[in-house]
Amino acid sequence: MGFTELHDQYRALYAEFRADREAMQEAFGEALRKAFKVAFPRREWDMSKACELPNYDEIRGEWQPKADALVERWDAASKEMKARMAEAAATEPVPTTDEMVLVDQVWGSSYHTQGFGANTYAENAARHLADKAVHHGLKAEVRVIRTGKGDRWGYQTQDYGVFANTTEAGWRMLKEHKPEVPLRDWIRACWGRGVNPRVYNPYLPHGIEEKLGLDRFGGETGPDTAAAPDEGIPAPRP
């Protein structure tokens, strides 16, 4: 079975789990409501008051094992499905489409700590994703998809969409199972676009640029002298 079919099965399985979980939560809430009406017939029911029930622990004790069993079943099924998806992704190319599809989004507000540079960092985070798509043979581009209201200083954050010629399943395959852009290329792209890579990956060791033969402007200063530079360094997570 191919990755796309497995991906669709995984989504269906998750939808079933969510439906079962919501039904169980509703049934648990109904059990609490009935007990509350018996214990406090003149009081208005509110879930926040459920802990006042004299038999709350008893009711919870009846439902908790059911909830635990549901989660355990989901965890086991999810782990198995993810393993099968990873195995399929290792040998399959990323599927392509004829049209460019909105496959991911990055919010400018996510980088509010960068002040007036929030949009720059958000856009570059989106471009990281597009870079990986191109690295694996896809077409990709970044577009502004939303502009927020200005703050009291008039600054407007922007949200960016990543568009690529692949499917939802293909994007998941790319993001979760395909190799990242080489670390040297990723760092060089960050500095070349005027952003500090350590905002995205604070675990980058001091001096890694020099070892990789890079400057702080997206240029090269010499050959890569780092031994296995990717080793032990977490992948960037824009």
Per-residue model confidence (pLDDT) at position 148: 85
> CB 106: neighbour CB atoms within 10 A?
23
Q: Are 28 and 63 in contact (CB under 8 A)?
A: yes
Per-residue model confidence (pLDDT) at position 121: 97
Per-residue model confidence (pLDDT) at position 234: 53
Nearest to 170 by CA among 41, 18, 6: 6
> What does the angle CA 36 – CA 37 – CA 38 come to, to the nearest 5 degrees?
90
Q: Are 183 and 17 in contact (CB under 8 A)?
A: no
Per-residue model confidence (pLDDT) at position 214: 95
> What does the angle CA 44 – CA 63 – CA 30 come to, to the nearest 5 degrees?
30
Mean pLDDT of the chain: 93
Distance of CA 31 to the CA centre of its chain: 35
3-state secondary structure at position 154: coil
Per-residue model confidence (pLDDT) at position 229: 46
Per-residue model confidence (pLDDT) at position 55: 95
Return the domain boundaries, the chain.
3-89, 101-177
β-bridge partners, 143: 161
The Cα 71–Cα 64 span in angstroms is: 11
Per-residue model confidence (pLDDT) at position 200: 96
**Edge-to-edge strand ranges of the sheet holding 101-107:** 101-107, 158-164, 140-147
Q: 149-165 b/e with 16+ CB inside 10 Å = b?
A: eeeeeeeebbbbbbbbb
Instruction: Count CA within 13 A, CB hemisphere, residue 221.
Output: 13
Q: Are 91 and 103 in contact (CB under 8 A)?
A: no
| pTM recorded for the entire structure | 0.83
Per-residue model confidence (pLDDT) at position 70: 98
Query: Maximum distance among all alpha carbons in the chain?
Result: 80
Per-residue model confidence (pLDDT) at position 154: 75
Residues 6+ apart with CB under 8 A from 70: 17, 20, 21, 24
Q: In the numeric block, which tokens belong to residue 80?
A: 């198995």
> What does the angle CA 215 – CA 216 – CA 221 come to, to the nearest 5 degrees?
10
Per-residue model confidence (pLDDT) at position 222: 83
The Cα 86–Cα 74 span in angstroms is: 18
Nearest to 126 by CA among 139, 138, 113, 140: 140
Which residue positions in the chain have pLDDT lower than 70? Answer: 227-238
